[in-house]
Amino acid sequence: MSNTADRMDLASEILALIERKREETGDAGLGSGIEHYILEMQVKEIERDIFENPGPIEPWLIRMRRGLA
């Protein structure tokens, strides 16, 4: 199993734990900062993997110019 898959599995387990604790405590905001961080890191990792090896989706990717934001 790849490191990416291992990290995604771990992130999934952490998010499930946060959700259980929210249900137990009734606090919908419990762990929201951690949840946001985990999701942001997962998206960045997936983006990085796609850019390193886009495979069959390469024709649909567009190049972004730096410094125009």
Would you say residue 36 lies in a domain?
Answer: yes
Would you say residue 49 lies in a domain?
Answer: yes
Would you say residue 28 lies in a domain?
Answer: yes
Angle, CA 6 vertex, CA 61 and CA 37 arms, to 5°? 70
Would you say residue 66 lies in a domain?
Answer: no
What is the pLDDT at residue 10?
A: 94
Q: Tell me how many domains the chain contains.
A: 1
What average pLDDT does this structure show over 47-66?
Answer: 82
Would you say residue 69 lies in a domain?
Answer: no
Of the pLDDT bands very low, low, confident and very high (cuts 50, 70, 90), residue 50 is confident
Residue 62: left if φ>0, alpha if ψ -120 to 50, beta else—which one?
beta
Of the pLDDT bands very low, low, confident and very high (cuts 50, 70, 90), residue 59 is confident
- The domain of 16 spans 3-60
What is the pLDDT at residue 38?
A: 96
